[in-house]
Amino acid sequence: MTDGYRCSKCGAIVSRSYLGEETEFTKANHYCPNCGEFMQGRRMDDFYEGEYIIYRNGEKYELGRITSLKEDGAFVCYHEGETAAKTPYSRMRKLINAHVIKATSLGGSRFQEAE
């Protein structure tokens, strides 16, 4: 076990003392001192299958929908096909107004039964 958190972009270990952690890391927002990557401790419990998310891909953002959750990331559909891409939780952002999405073709027919 390391005394810190691994940056998903550069792999650097960022120490807990650097982050000034006073509460759980999942409640704090920080930047990696090595590469400047935004780091927020997100984990599997923070998301659910079928949830819409925003994926940060460099300076671009993509809408996606979670198909399954794994310990180290989620499989997310970003297009109309049924293929899902493994996405680290650190790159995923929650949509607070996802309830306004009434219909989508994300994931092809993968989600038709659930809607």
Ordered structural domains, the chain, with CATH: 4-40 (no CATH), 44-100 (2.30.30.140)
**Strands annotated E in the chain:** 4-6, 13-15, 29-31, 38-40, 52-57, 60-70, 73-77, 85-87, 92-94
Summarize pLDDT for 33-80 with one digit per residue, the tens. 777 776 666 666 778 999 999 998 888 899 999 999 988 789 999 998
* Cβ atoms within 10 Å, residue 111: 17
The backbone torsions φ and ψ at residue 100, rounded to the nearest 5 degrees and listed phi first, read -80, -10
Summarize pLDDT for 12-44 with one digit per residue, the tens. 777 665 555 444 444 445 667 777 776 666 666
The answer to whether residues 37 and 31 touch, using CB atoms and an 8 Å cutoff, is yes
